[in-house]
Amino acid sequence: MKICSGCLFMSGYKQLYQDLIKQLDNSNLIQRAYKSVLYHEKWKKRIDDITKLQGYEGLSKLPYVSADDLRIIWEKHSVEEIILTETVGFWYTTSGSMGNKKWIPWTFGDYNKAGLGIAKNLLNYLDPTDRILIIMLPPPFISGSSPFKLLENTGDMGTPIEVLAFSPEYIQDGFGLLMKRRPNVVIGTPSLVLRMAEEIAINTPLLLKERAEEEKSIKLRIAAAATKLKKIYPKHIFRKMKYGYFGGESLDPFRKAIEDKWGLEAFDVYAFTEGFSGGFECTEHNGMHFPSPFSIIEIIPESELAIEADDPEYTPEAVIVTEAEEGLTGELVLTDFKEALPMIRFRVRDSVKVVSTGDCSCGLDSPRLKIIGRTDSVINIGIIRLSAIIFDQLLRKDFKFGKVNLWEVYVTREKYRPKLVLTIEPEFVKNEEEFKKELFDSLHGFDLFQRGYDNGLFLFDEIKFVDKLKLEIYGQGKSRVVRYDPDFNKAVKM
């Protein structure tokens, strides 16, 4: 008898989903969530009796929520109307790409559940003698708690691992410590890790020269002199470096450069501030596994998204991941079991492709997904994401020296850094240089743009004026104001 190996492989994962659906009912998750203002009015308009919703069929009848819904409730309602618990363990924030930040409550139980999955995965590869360098944004960003979460959870599992944690601006100050402790694992965003490689190439000769003078060391003088002949990269300093785990932006364009400069094996990871359900790459390096022990994953197919683009009143149907076919592309939707504020059918706005639902040689019984882009109007420039809506507002202020009619951002790349070119079709211009300055100052006044630009996370190449700007039209007459260079996602060169 011929048995489908893929069916055997999926049986464990499908059993997990059957258990999650039972948990959905037994925990009264939907009824609990209904008490939050995030869901109450929206569900009330669509569902006559929430208590009658059962299983996945019941879940699928609920309307989606999005980041926009979260922003609106934070502007209009009290914390008590939003959260479902009396106390909160930690408040995380998002980057604020739409102007107003979203604040996401996590209880201590939520915090522990999320960290345990990460720790279990890492301990499949690491041991107590390893030292992890983490480059992260500080609190209140969710990455700011990751070093502590990692130490706590690996410790709880009996294998605490040393963590060296730095925010980007403190890397240079901590370089002396890194030279002495020599980490062999790195966690961060790809562009920041490549930026660090660049800074190491610049700063190592200076540091060696200073140490040679302080210690009167001939050996160090020779080493400092050698750096004039050969550029120094992290792999020359951290010789035992073996693994890197990277999230926050697509790893694909950076993978080869990171592996070359750091001398490690790079793994893609996925997480988002609002909820559970992280993904991680295995040694196959072909998509990320989404074990999702505390969340239910759905995908809105591209065909449904296309109908929605033509008719904004249309509610697209989703496919639960256990029923998704290989090759399916669409938007990721997540339902989790958080205590403080569960995300119920949350549209993450990330586009995914189902890479495989069959056997994986690593032994994990979960489907593999690949993040392939975004479905919203966001200028995605690595770890910095700028809303096209905010961009539009900033460019349409009342300026003294001109007025914008149409605009377009073209995103290319210079080495590892995204580069923006802004093209403007003006209604009128009184003074071209002064108008360009007004436009740049307006953009630079937006804190997210300012932080990214001032810290060199992206380049703003130029502002161009043209007589006629022809924008691509899609959907119901919408204009596409953000375009990416065809080579934007190709491997970067250093």
Query: Does residue 98 register a pLDDT over 60?
Result: no
Are 65 and 46 within 8 A, CB to CB?
no
SS3 348: strand
Give 82's strand partners: none
Instruction: Name the CATH code of domain 111-267 (choices 1.10.10, 3.30.310, 3.40.50, 3.30.70).
Output: 3.40.50
Q: What is the pLDDT of residue 6?
A: 38
Q: How many CB atoms lie within 10 A of CB 54?
A: 12
Mean pLDDT score across all residues of the chain: 86
Q: Among 154-163, 367-376, 421-430, name the most confident range.
A: 421-430
Calculate what percentage of the chain has a pLDDT beyond 90: 50
The helix or strand, by DSSP H or E, that contains position 210, with its residue range, turns out to be: helix 190-215
Cβ density class 280-301: b for 16+ within 10 Å, e for less: bbbeeeebbbbbbebbbbbbbb
Query: Does residue 129 register a pLDDT over 80?
Result: yes
Average pLDDT over residues 51-65: 95
SS3 412: strand
Average pLDDT over residues 216-227: 61
pLDDT single digits (tens) 382-433? 777 888 888 999 999 999 999 999 999 999 999 889 999 999 999 999 999 9
Residue scoring higher pLDDT (438 or 450): 438
Ordered by start, the domain boundaries in the chain are 5-102+273-376, 111-267, 379-484
Task: Give the least confident one: 13-17, 92-96, 266-270, 479-483.
Answer: 92-96
Task: Give the least confident one: 157-161, 348-352, 390-394.
Answer: 157-161
DSSP string, 421-438: EEEEEEEEES-HHHHHHH
pLDDT band at 7 (very low <50, low <70, confident <90, very high): very low
Q: Tell me how far apart the alpha carbons of residues 93 and 107 are, in angstroms, rounded to a whole number.
A: 14
Query: Does residue 334 register a pLDDT over 70?
Result: yes
Q: What is the pLDDT of residue 480?
A: 81
pLDDT band at 223 (very low <50, low <70, confident <90, very high): low
CATH class of the region 379-484:
alpha beta
Query: Does residue 476 register a pLDDT over 80?
Result: no
Q: Radius of gyration (Cα) for the chain, nearest Å?
A: 24
In angstroms, the Cα distances linking 217 to 130, 238, 318, 443 are 30, 21, 66, 50
